[in-house]
Structure 1
Amino acid sequence: MHQQVPVVGRTVPDFHGHDQHGRDFDLSDWRGSPVLVFFYAFSFSSVCRDELEHLRDMAYLFDAADCRIVAVATDTTFVLREVDRRLNLGFTLVSDHWPHGAIGRAYGAFDDKLGCDRRHSYLIGPDGALVWSKVVDLPATRDIGEHLGAVHVHFPV
């Protein structure tokens, strides 16, 4: 299946999924605020866990800029609930488990060979248009401070 990476300045695809509590999630429901969509591979891998913990530790700074965080992985909602419980994340996790990788494919983030989403980050403006993105190869770790810096550049408080 062909994957297209979102382009800065253009509206990103809406997506529907289920959060770590099994509730419906639609990205379009968050229009009106900046949103960081944070794709990652596996909830319990050391690199992904470290990234999620850094996001958790800096979440208050994203909140201060009125930027919401949604982390997306191909894990099931049950796995996402457990990682949230163990790490006390406090932000939304969305399952890209079924249809497997559909959200990641819509954003050019799904890896067909590995069967998981790769490390792609997308900062979306209140109008639904992409303002910034970052792609990092596995197993490198993304710099969450750089993500926060992008929020402050595009949405100064």
Structure 2
Amino acid sequence: MSWEGQQAPDFRLQDQDGNEHSLADYRGQKVLLYFYPRDSTPGCTVEAQQFRDRLDELEAHGVQVLGVSRDTVKSHRKFADKESLNFPILADPEHDVLKAYNLLKEKTMFGKPALGVNRESFLIDEQGVIRKHYAKVKPEEHVGEILEDLASADNTLS
């Protein structure tokens, strides 16, 4: 399925502080919705640190960053505290949002099938339409890729 040009599925999830967020809450601004497999794992930590360290650059383009994983609010609180995260990370322990975005996939772990979360992101415009789907995310490079796309989009609008 091609996500680009599609209305982003709405949701209501709690962040690391227990505050509820829905995609509809962010109408009128861009959202970078990024999905990651698990709190405090090496790739997920690098990716979160990249978003933390470059959040000002993303915000300069009018982008609100929201992370999502199937971890609990409690797990997110520990992860956010440990990594000094400065953006909401949303808990989806029931997998509702992961399923809506088709990111829960069967993978092989230790030779056995298991459900895993794909590391993917969606850049959503002010009207809630997906403008860019990042299906192959490299944690170390992802924020730079997003910023390049935002700069290109800004230049085409000028």
TM class by smaller structure: 0.7 to 0.9
Structure 1 equivalent of residue 139 of structure 2: 141
- Any idea what the Cα deviations from partners look like across 1:25-80, whole Å, max 9, x if unmatched? 11110010000000000111101101110111111100111100000000000010
Structure 1 equivalent of residue 102 of structure 2: 108
Closer, same or farther in 2 for the Cα pair 1:142/1:123, shift >3 Å? farther
In structure 1, list runs of 5 or more residues that go unmatched. Answer: none
**TM-score, normalisation: structure 2:** 0.87
Partner Cα separation in structure 2 for residue 81 and residue 105 of structure 1: 23
Are 1:12 and 2:8 matched, yes or no?
Answer: yes
Structure 2 equivalent of residue 55 of structure 1: 51
What SS class does the counterpart of residue 48 from structure 2 fall into?
Answer: helix
CA contact (8 A) 1:6 1:12 kept: no
Partner Cα separation in structure 1 for residue 119 and residue 51 of structure 2: 14
Amino acid across the alignment from 1:26? S
What SS class does the counterpart of residue 54 from structure 2 fall into?
Answer: helix
**TM-score, normalisation: structure 1:** 0.87
Larger Rg: 2
Structure 1 equivalent of residue 36 of structure 2: 40
Structure 2 equivalent of residue 129 of structure 1: 129
Structure 2 equivalent of residue 154 of structure 1: 153
Structure 1 equivalent of residue 62 of structure 2: 66
Partner Cα separation in structure 1 for residue 2 and residue 32 of structure 2: 14
What SS class does the counterpart of residue 50 from structure 1 fall into?
Answer: helix
Amino acid across the alignment from 1:134? Y
Amino acid across the alignment from 1:66? G
- Any idea what the Cα deviations from partners look like across 1:95-136, whole Å, max 9, x if unmatched? 011x2x110111111224544421010000001001001112
CA contact (8 A) 1:6 1:108 kept: no
Are 1:120 and 2:120 matched, yes or no?
Answer: yes
What SS class does the counterpart of residue 75 from structure 1 fall into?
Answer: coil
Q: CA deviation at 1:147?
A: 1.4
Q: CA deviation at 1:153?
A: 2.6
Structure 2 equivalent of residue 90 of structure 1: 86
- What percentage of aligned pairs have identical amino acids? 26
Structure 2 equivalent of residue 79 of structure 1: 75
Count residues with an aligned counterpart: 149
Structure 1 equivalent of residue 110 of structure 2: none
Runs of 4 or more, structure 1, over 6 Å off, are: none
Are 1:31 and 2:34 matched, yes or no?
Answer: no
Give the CA RMSD over aligned residues.
1.8
